[in-house]
Amino acid sequence: MNATTTPSTPGPVREAAMRIVQGVEIEDTFAEAFGMTAARLIITAQSPHWAMIAAQAATGYATSVIGCDAEAGLERELSPQETPDGRPGVSLLLFAFSRDALQKAVVNRVAQCVLTCATTACYNGLPIDPARSIKVGGALRYFGDGWQLSKYLDGKRYWRIPTMDGEFLCEETFGTVKGVAGGNFLILGRSQEAALAAAEAAVQAIRRVPEVILPFPGGIVRSGSKVGSKYKALKASTNDAYCPTLRGGVASRLPEGVNAVYEIVIDGLSLAAVEEAMRVGITAACQPGVVRISAGNYGGKLGPYPIPLHRLFPA
């Protein structure tokens, strides 16, 4: 990584004290993140194949709380040595604006997508504070129609729910923590091909960072949004300042030569984890064909966690 400072130059975007990382400009701006409540689910199955199927189903339709009940994604795959029952597994992170909303989303997703999936079991993956816990197995047990059984092991309660292939085992209580959502950066490329290749490289690098997820499809956002719309019913609408096809009709923030933009959005269990994922992802995205790295913010009005890009790459 090679980060330096360059003088300001005129252009369509404010360019105060740019950093250069691997030949790509890092704009002097900040990502605006906000707080959410998070849970970690450990799903195991007879094989990695079935654990991943459950993960994909449970994290579907969970890109943005603008229109979804939660933001969710795969944190990482787990070896049998890392799971409570010694089987292959996955770790998922789910985020919602409140603990009540999170419990509803987790219970519904585990009920519809994990309980129904062949050979699976589901365990809590965070420390449990009784004041901040949610009931998962404790809510799902009623599906057993009176045939469900509970057992205690190492001070934890589990529910055994009969199913047609045996039984579904689910921990009764799951822990939650205050997480950070909405960490982001924008990749401004000379072409769609260059911008997408850089975004894919960023996703691959970020997936190696623990305690974070990329909730959007493939970890990449094509439809970056702004708050509000000309239509009163919409909470958000297309981020026209970064749409190449609108360059001539709006107050564009696209430098000359930029013809495609992709956004990477990151949710994490801590601000430090989100910042590290941003740093790693931006570094990987600084490739030939990328003109600039920027970020989305709302002037500090959206969330209490500003993440200046230059702080990630000190001179």
Same domain? 142 vs 163: yes
- The residue out of 175, 209, 238 marking a domain boundary is 175
* Cα–Cα distance for residue pair 20/80, rounded to 1 Å: 43
pTM of the model: 0.92
Cβ contact 29:294 at 8 Å: yes
- The pLDDT of residue 229 is 94
* Cα–Cα distance for residue pair 181/179, rounded to 1 Å: 7
Same domain? 99 vs 165: yes
- The residue out of 159, 175, 191 marking a domain boundary is 175
Lowest mean pLDDT, pick from 8-17, 23-32, 205-214, 229-238:
8-17
- Is the pLDDT higher at 155 or at 100? 100
Q: In the chain, how many domains are there? A: 2
Same domain? 43 vs 171: yes
Same domain? 161 vs 201: no
Same domain? 151 vs 217: no
- The residue out of 119, 153, 175 marking a domain boundary is 175
For the chain, give the mean pLDDT. 93
Cβ contact 74:91 at 8 Å: yes
9: pLDDT strictly greater than 50:
no
Rounded to the nearest angstrom, the gap between the alpha carbon of residue 211 and the centroid of all alpha carbons in its chain is: 10
Same domain? 16 vs 91: no
Which amino acid, 295? Answer: A
pLDDT grade, residue 11 (50/70/90)?
A: very low
* Cα–Cα distance for residue pair 179/267, rounded to 1 Å: 8
CATH number at residue 228: 3.30.70.520
Same domain? 168 vs 42: yes
Same domain? 22 vs 65: no
Same domain? 164 vs 196: no
Residue reference for tokens 């089987």: 87
Same domain? 104 vs 19: no
Same domain? 79 vs 147: yes
227: pLDDT strictly greater than 90:
no
Cβ contact 298:236 at 8 Å: no
Residues 6+ apart with CB under 8 A from 31: 182, 183, 184, 185, 278, 295, 296, 297, 306, 307, 309
Q: Which tens digits make up the pLDDT trace of 259-314?
A: 999 999 999 999 999 999 999 999 999 999 999 999 999 888 788 999 999 999 99
Q: Which tens digits make up the pLDDT trace of 36-59?
A: 999 999 999 999 999 999 999 999
* Cα–Cα distance for residue pair 35/98, rounded to 1 Å: 10
Structural domain harbouring 266: 3-29+181-312
Average pLDDT over residues 120-148: 97
Same domain? 169 vs 101: yes
